[in-house]
Structure 1
């Protein structure tokens, strides 16, 4: 009997920093993908708070904490089209998290364009849990920058890194 194909998902984002919302989506993706490649998008015009290597380390720590995540998640950088990065990673599924209707409208447009350019790669939408719905990395950075408590929004190890980052 032939082996079933390995389902590889590509989860793109900036992950600057990785949040509980990202963790929620990644855990859900691991329920229907054999492997997940986290694609950290890099943009020459943007200066991230965390360097690429720091984000990879935080993602690795998160992956180790997700049941069944160890050995099934890898991380790559990409700076072009998401579908090109997904194809290079061997993914047949794009994983996109949805927080609300605004996300859905935008993500549907992206899925349509990506589907036209790469019909062999399907977009799967994963709804955010109620607890993680309001979380964005941008808001987390702003709260941390102003000395606020981000522990409800990010894993503890990310909160510590944010505190260190803004203490200097």
Structure 2
């Protein structure tokens, strides 16, 4: 069985992430979506909230898809899951430089796991979770970047934490 891991913080999961999940699931027998926390970021949603959000969003996508939280080195997680490939999405040249470096480091840690890069759909390339949150905090519309359920969750979190910025 060919198992792939698609890791990310998914804070929140965007239409760009969903595109990579749909396409990545076609390349492997099982796609494990690894939800983690990047220690250099402060997430809007807690780990369990992000896991539940991703689980809800991937329902109905064809293929064997599992959502698993992890808090370890990616290559240790991939080994635990039995993965032979890491699936990564690329939006732009800036992504490539970072991802290329990470792929090289990961290969040094475990050369039995390959990294496969998928280009995001052209219409979804500018979408980034960080920008979605920033737009929402300033009262902008995010419906073009996330599903309605994710939009509602983001807006509720902003209201709950009093994060709204900008002029009324």
Q: Given the two structures, how large is their TM-score scaled by the length of structure 1?
A: 0.89
Gaps of 5+ in 1: 1-5
1:43 deviation in Å? Answer: 4.6
1:34 alignment counterpart:
29
2:138 alignment counterpart:
146
- RMSD value over aligned CA atoms? 1.4
The number of aligned residues is 160
2:68 alignment counterpart:
76
**Are 1:60 and 2:52 counterparts?**
no
1:166 alignment counterpart:
158
Contact 2:11 2:44 in 1 (8 A): yes
- Note the alpha carbon deviations across 1:24-72, whole angstroms, 9 max, x for none: 1000101111111111122567541111121112111211142x14xx2
* 1:71-150 paired onto structure 2 within 5 Å: 72-150=64-142
Report the Cα distance in structure 1 between the residues aligned to 2:40 and 2:120, rounded to whole angstroms: 29
Matched residue SS, 1:32: coil
Give the 4+ runs in structure 1 shifted more than 4 A.
Answer: 43-46
Q: Given the two structures, how large is their TM-score scaled by the length of structure 2?
A: 0.89
